[in-house]
C-alpha cells in the first residue's frame, strides 16, 4: 500500500488516495497529504487500514500521479550520515575538517531542501545548475514525519547536489542544494508499519547516458552512521512542523570526482521495499519553468514527462 496524491483525468481534480496493485482509490474526506500528516500515527494508520481504498479504484493510467507532498509540508535533508559521504565531502572541499567534525559530532547536519511546490517526481526532470560543472545525484531513503514527529512513512529521494559549488566553500551549501529541479521524491509514501526494519534496505543508483550505464553504485541503510529517530528528533527540536515534514536521510552512494552528470542523462534510483525514481537530467532553471504553472494546473506537469 502507498499513500498517493493524484489528479483525476476525468474531472481534473486533485485527490489523496491509496494505491494497491496498480489501482488508485481516494481517501474519503481527506483533501491533502498535509491533512494526513496533522494526524497522530495511530489515527492515521486506522484511517488508512479502515478505508478499504485501493481494491476497486481507478487504473493508474486514469490518473496523473503527483509528488506526495503538498501545502505547508517542507522537505529537509541530512548530510554526512554515511562514511562514504564524509569521505567524498573531504575530497571535494576546501574546508576538509568541517565534514570530519560533523560526521563525528552528536548533532547532525540538517538543511532545508524544498517547499512542496518545487518537488518533482518520477518521470519529471531533475536539474543541474548552469553555473556548476560537477554535479551528482544523491539517492536517499526519505522519512515522512507527522506533526508530532512520529515516523509515519518512507519515500525514495534524490537530493541533487553541485559538488563544485559546495566544494568551493561549505557556506555555499544552500546554493549547491536548493534550486529548481534539485529535489525528487517517489510517487507514493510507503506506510512505516509495512516496513518493520528500515535498518538494512538496499539502495541502488544507475546513471544512463546514450542508452548505456555510465555509472552505477549501491549501498544499504545498514551503513548509515546515524539512526532515523535521532535525525527526526533534531529536525523537530528547533521548529514546529504543523503539516509534517519529509527528511532525506543522506547518501552512501557518491561517484568519483571524475564523474559528473550531463544534460540528457537519466537517473535511476531504487530503495528496496520503498520505491523507485526515474528522472531525466536537464541543465538550468528554464526547463523547470512549468513548476510555476503546475501550482494552478497539475496537468502542466505533463509537458515535462
Instruction: Express each pLDDT in 180-224 by its tens digit.
Output: 999 999 999 999 999 989 999 999 999 999 999 999 999 999 999
Residues whose CB falls within 8 Å of the CB of residue 273, separated by 6 or more in sequence, listed in order? 190, 195, 201
* Predicted pLDDT of residue 57: 84
* Predicted pLDDT of residue 153: 98
Strand (E) positions, 35-129?
58-59, 63-66, 74-79, 109-115, 126-128
Q: Residues 48, 189: one domain?
A: no
Contact between 108 and 77 under an 8 Å Cβ cutoff? The reply is no
Is 274 in a helix, a strand, or coil?
A: coil
CATH code at position 147: 3.90.850.10
* Predicted pLDDT of residue 83: 66
71, 245, 225: which is closest to 143 by C-alpha?
245
| Residue 304 within a domain | no
Q: Residues 142, 282: one domain?
A: yes
| Tens-place pLDDT, residues 109-123 | 999 999 999 999 999
CB-neighbour burial class of residue 254 (10 A; exposed 0-12, middle 13-18, buried 19+): buried
CB atoms within 10 A of CB 206: 18
| Residue 299 within a domain | no
Give the residue ranges of the chain where pLDDT is below 50: 86, 88, 90, 92
| Residue 301 within a domain | no
Domain count, the chain: 2
| Residue 228 within a domain | yes
Q: Which domain holds residue 56?
A: 2-66
Q: What is the mean pLDDT of the chain?
A: 92
Domain boundary among 33, 66, 99: 66
Q: Residues 80, 109: one domain?
A: yes
* Predicted pLDDT of residue 55: 58
Buried b (16+ CB within 10 A) or exposed e, 268-289: bbbbbebbebbbbbbbbeebbe
Q: Residues 86, 214: one domain?
A: yes
243, 223, 302, 268: which is closest to 63 by C-alpha?
302
CA-to-CA distance for 151 and 227, rounded, in angstroms? Answer: 12
| Residue 188 within a domain | yes
Vertex 283 angle, CA 279 and 289, to 5°: 80
Contact between 287 and 125 under an 8 Å Cβ cutoff? The reply is yes
Contact between 128 and 281 under an 8 Å Cβ cutoff? The reply is yes
| Residue 298 within a domain | no
Q: Residues 183, 218: one domain?
A: yes
Amino acid at each position: 500500500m502507498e499513500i498517493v496524491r493524484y489528479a483525476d483525468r476525468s474531472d481534473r481534480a486533485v485527490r489523496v488516495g491509496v494505491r494497491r496493485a496498480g489501482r488508485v482509490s481516494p481517501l474519503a474526506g481527506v483533501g491533502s497529504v498535509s491533512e494526513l500528516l496533522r494526524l497522530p500515527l495511530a489515527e492515521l494508520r486506522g484511517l488508512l487500514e479502515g478505508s478499504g481504498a485501493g481494491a476497486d479504484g481507478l487504473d493508474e493510467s486514469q490518473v496523473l500521479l503527483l509528488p506526495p507532498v503538498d501545502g505547508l509540508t517542507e522537505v529537509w535533508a541530512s548530510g554526512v550520515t554515511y562514511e562514504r559521504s564524509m569521505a567524498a565531502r573531504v575530497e571535494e572541499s576546501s574546508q576538509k575538517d568541517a565534514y570530519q567534525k560533523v560526521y563525528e559530532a552528536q548533532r547532525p547536519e540538517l538543511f532545508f531542501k524544498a517547499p512542496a511546490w518545487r518537488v518533482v517526481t518520477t518521470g519529471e526532470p531533475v536539474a543541474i545548475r548552469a553555473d556548476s560543472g560537477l554535479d551528482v545525484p544523491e539517492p536517499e531513503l526519505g522519512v515522512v514525519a507527522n506533526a508530532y514527529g512520529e515516523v509515519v512513512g518512507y519515500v525514495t529521494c534524490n537530493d541533487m547536489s553541485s559538488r563544485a559549488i559546495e566544494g568551493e566553500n561549505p557556506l555555499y551549501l544552500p546554493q549547491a542544494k536548493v534550486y529548481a529541479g534539485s529535489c525528487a521524491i517517489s510517487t507514493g509514501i510507503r506506510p512505516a508499519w509495512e516496513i518493520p526494519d528500515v535498518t538494512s534496505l538496499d539502495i541502488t543508483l544507475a546513471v544512463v547516458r546514450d542508452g548505456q550505464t555510465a555509472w552505477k553504485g549501491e549501498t544499504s541503510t545498514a551503513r548509515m552512521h546515524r539512526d532515523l529517530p535521532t535525525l527526526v528528533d533534531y529536525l523537530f527540536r528547533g521548529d514546529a512542523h504543523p503539516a509534517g515534514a519529509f527528511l532525506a536521510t543522506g547518501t552512501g552512494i557518491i561517484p568519483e570526482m571524475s564523474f559528473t552528470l550531463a544534460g540528457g542523462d537519466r537517473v535511476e534510483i531504487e530503495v528496496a521495499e520503498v520505491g523507485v525514481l526515474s528522472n531525466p537530467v536537464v541543465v538550468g532553471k528554464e526547463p523547470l519553468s512549468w513548476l510555476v504553472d503546475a501550482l494552478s494546473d497539475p496537468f502542466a506537469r505533463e509537458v515535462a514527462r
